[in-house]
Chain A
Amino acid sequence: MKKTKNFKPIDIVLTAISILIACIFLTPIVWSLACSLKTEGMKITSALDWFAPPYTFENYPSVILGSSVSTWLINSMFNASMSVILTILVTSLAAYPIAKLEFKGKSWLFLFFTVGLIVPGEATIVPLFIITNQLGLLDSYAGMILPSVAVSLNLIIISSFFKGIPNEMIEAAKIDGANHWIIYFRVVMPLAKTVLVTVSIFAFMASWNNYLWPLLCAINDSMFTLPVGIPTFAGTYTVDYVRPMTANMIASIPAIILYLIFEKRIVKGVTLSGIKG
């Protein structure tokens, strides 16, 4: 990209517009954060009062300790981490033979695995509920986690990355006496770190923000995740802004931190998939 040395007025105008829009985009989030730092019952007379000090962090411990938010936070964390671990393990295992081994019926197997790309989860939510119920997994962690583990798109992304790993490296390991399990674990997996991190981030975000499925699958308040719990929590505080917005921020801060740490990888991952959404 070339550096502009002499600014034209149009450049200044466009930059100003782009910054203004960015501020509009951030306002609801900043507003939510400002609310969570307010003392309950503060008088608000104009729009700017929302953002004005004094600030307090008292709401965070009080909301986390004094309500079910802590339980939902733990559930969300647990579901998201388990979902990441299982997704990476199960998907990369299946990706290895598809990328690196030759066997009868491979193209049929791959076709079968990719059909899932066009199955919209929202349109199969009712039978998914019936199946989960028949398996006795309703209102359990397994029931919330397992349906989102085996995803076609992740398999395609990981196996196409595996395909790019040179066969010579695998041959060399083979000569050293390694079997396929050792090659998968010691050669292929370490080389695929970047793509595995990308898939992990998306699996984490998908689980952390999932709403429709946990809404159906979690029946007891103690099994709720943050997205399912927050609306019930906020409903009881309609006049008060402080506690609901604090709960909102507790649900958002982990995702925001994750975004700021892995920004580059997320941007790449979006382009790589082009399908999620």
Chain B
Amino acid sequence: MAKKTLYHNGGRMWFIVIWFILPFTLLYSVFTIWPVIQGAIVSLHRWGLMGKQGWVGLENYQKFLGDRFFWQAMQNTALFVVMTVPLLVVSAFFLAMLANRPSRVKRFLRASYYLPSILSVSVISFITIYMASPYMGFLNQLLHSLHIIPAGIEPMWLSKTSLVRITLVVTTVWWTLGFSMLLFLSALQDIPEQLYEAAKIDGASAWRVLFSITIPILGQTFALVTFLQIIASFKVFGQIYLISGGGPGTVTRPIIQYIYTTAFTKNNLGYASAMSYALFLILIVFSLIQLRIQNKKD
């Protein structure tokens, strides 16, 4: 690629450049980059809400290796990733296929599938809490009147462990699917029409077209969406914190909530920073893979 930039006058250009980049550099350094460094420093100290209390070296890191609540939170987070990601990727693809069909309701479909994504996490959490609450909630009433569950049985969507997990997964899929659906949709629209016409002439069945043309062409989009979802699900906090509070007990508590509680309820910011660093490293690995996929795509 030939360089096509203006005004070569070497180092003196900086006198102008500096004023253009100053505000961004300042805010970016203080609020994005410095926290990464500060986090490392804090993690090596005993640190409370009032400030530094003393150097402890790597003690905080040793501590979480033997902390069963840390591993439980990691396990809960991993389980959440395993439950949500495949479901999200497959259903987002399925809905994108439906919304991509030529029909008069195309725009309505796209808007309806995407609309939940624009709502705030508190809004969707409170809709779930009120809809899924037993005895007077909409969900159980609906299930009763459709005779899906017999009268007199009240599923405890918000307090029975196995059901809470389902509630959290369904809420998350409903809330966040729209974004991935749009990524699939735009990839589908980029597939040249001639490919389908050729397949039609060859007499290929709809299934054959799906598995031999559509899915292979979308390979990279599948990879991208999968990694974006893994990252997003690993960072889950709001909906679990609000809907189940991490409960019953701590059986659904994700890692970010444990970090949050350790720092701001237990007043142990040093330990929380050490655990944040573990999470940070995991997320960076996934982000680097995702950026690689994306660069290949461009």
Q: Do A and B bind each other?
A: yes
Do the beta carbons of B27 and A25 come within 8 Å of each other?
Answer: no
Check B183 for interface membership: any CB of A closer than 8 A: yes
The 8 Å CB contact of A146, one of B27, B141, B174, B179, is B27
A226 to B122 Cα, complex, angstroms: 9
Residue numbers in B under 8 Å from A180 (CB-CB) = 16, 20
Q: Which residues from 234 to 286 on chain B have a C-beta closer than 8 Å to any C-beta of chain A?
A: 235, 237-238, 242, 256, 259-260, 263-264, 269, 272-273, 276-277, 279-280, 283-284
A and B contact pairs by CB, cutoff 8 A, 14 listed: A14-B98, A25-B115, A29-B115, A47-B141, A101-B17, A102-B6, A118-B291, A119-B35, A126-B269, A127-B34, A211-B122, A216-B264, A255-B119, A277-B179
Residue numbers in B under 8 Å from A125 (CB-CB) = 256, 259-260, 276
A128 to B276 Cα, complex, angstroms: 12
Do the beta carbons of B5 and A101 come within 8 Å of each other?
Answer: yes
CB proximity of B266 to chain A, nearest CB, Å: 12
Q: A31-B127, A109-B21, A274-B224 are in contact. Are A22 and B122 (CB under 8 A)?
A: no
Do the beta carbons of B98 and A126 come within 8 Å of each other?
Answer: no
The 8 Å CB contact of A123, one of B109, B110, B131, B276, is B276
Q: A94-B24, A226-B120 are in contact. Are A25 and B113 (CB under 8 A)?
A: yes
Per CB-CB distance, the 7 closest pairs between chain A and chain B, nearest first, are A94-B24, A22-B112, A150-B28, A103-B13, A150-B27, A124-B35, A18-B98
Check B4 for interface membership: any CB of A closer than 8 A: yes
A50 to B139 Cα, complex, angstroms: 11
Q: Which residues from 197 to 239 on chain A have a C-beta closer than 8 Å to any C-beta of chain B?
A: 205, 208-209, 211-212, 216, 226-228, 230-231, 234
Residue numbers in B under 8 Å from A130 (CB-CB) = 38, 42, 47, 269
A residues adjacent to B (C-beta < 8 A)? 1-4, 11, 14-15, 17-19, 21-23, 25-26, 28-29, 31-32, 35, 44, 46-48, 50, 89-91, 93-94, 96-98, 100-104, 109, 112-113, 115-120, 122-131, 135, 146-150, 152, 155, 167, 170-171, 174, 180, 184, 205, 208-209, 211-212, 216, 226-228, 230-231, 234, 241, 244-245, 248, 251-252, 255-256, 258-260, 263, 266-267, 270-271, 274-277
A2 to B186 Cα, complex, angstroms: 17
Do the beta carbons of B256 and A122 come within 8 Å of each other?
Answer: yes
The 8 Å CB contact of B127, one of A149, A248, A259, is A248
Q: Which residue of B lies closest to A32 (CB)?
A: B127
Q: Count the B residues whose beta carbon is within 8 Å of the partner chain — how many?
A: 102
Q: A28-B127, A270-B183 are in contact. Are A18 and B138 (CB under 8 A)?
A: no
A263 to B110 Cα, complex, angstroms: 10
Do the beta carbons of B38 and A104 come within 8 Å of each other?
Answer: no
Residue numbers in A under 8 Å from B55 (CB-CB) = none
CB proximity of A178 to chain B, nearest CB, Å: 12
B residues adjacent to A (C-beta < 8 A)? 3-8, 10-11, 13-14, 16-17, 20-21, 23-25, 27-28, 30-36, 38-39, 42, 47, 95, 98-99, 101-103, 105, 108-116, 118-131, 136, 138, 141-142, 144-145, 174, 176, 179, 182-183, 185-186, 193, 224, 228-229, 231-232, 235, 237-238, 242, 256, 259-260, 263-264, 269, 272-273, 276-277, 279-280, 283-284, 287-288, 290-291, 294
Do the beta carbons of B33 and A116 come within 8 Å of each other?
Answer: yes
A271 to B291 Cα, complex, angstroms: 15
A277 to B231 Cα, complex, angstroms: 8
A94 to B26 Cα, complex, angstroms: 11
Residue numbers in A under 8 Å from B25 (CB-CB) = 94, 150
A95 to B211 Cα, complex, angstroms: 42
Q: A29-B115, A228-B122 are in contact. Are A18 and B280 (CB under 8 A)?
A: no
CB proximity of A176 to chain B, nearest CB, Å: 15
Q: Which residue of A lies closest to B141 (CB)?
A: A47
Interface of B is mostly: helix
Q: A131-B38, A256-B115 are in contact. List 14 more A-B contacts (CB 8 A).
A: A19-B109, A28-B174, A100-B5, A102-B8, A103-B10, A124-B280, A126-B263, A130-B47, A167-B5, A212-B237, A226-B120, A244-B130, A267-B186, A275-B294
Residue numbers in B under 8 Å from A48 (CB-CB) = 145
Residue numbers in B under 8 Å from A266 (CB-CB) = 114
Do the beta carbons of A150 and B32 come within 8 Å of each other?
Answer: yes
Q: A18-B98, A31-B131 are in contact. Are A122 and B31 (CB under 8 A)?
A: no
Do the beta carbons of A170 and B182 come within 8 Å of each other?
Answer: no
Residue numbers in A under 8 Å from B38 (CB-CB) = 127, 130-131
Do the beta carbons of A127 and B35 come within 8 Å of each other?
Answer: yes
Do the beta carbons of B287 and A231 come within 8 Å of each other?
Answer: no
The 8 Å CB contact of B138, one of A50, A123, A174, A263, is A50
Residue numbers in B under 8 Å from A26 (CB-CB) = 112, 115
Do the beta carbons of B39 and A127 come within 8 Å of each other?
Answer: yes
Do the beta carbons of A126 and B113 come within 8 Å of each other?
Answer: no
CB proximity of A250 to chain B, nearest CB, Å: 10
Q: A101-B13, A167-B4 are in contact. Are A131 and B31 (CB under 8 A)?
A: yes
A184 to B16 Cα, complex, angstroms: 12
The 8 Å CB contact of A18, one of B20, B34, B105, is B105
A176 to B209 Cα, complex, angstroms: 58
Do the beta carbons of B283 and A123 come within 8 Å of each other?
Answer: yes
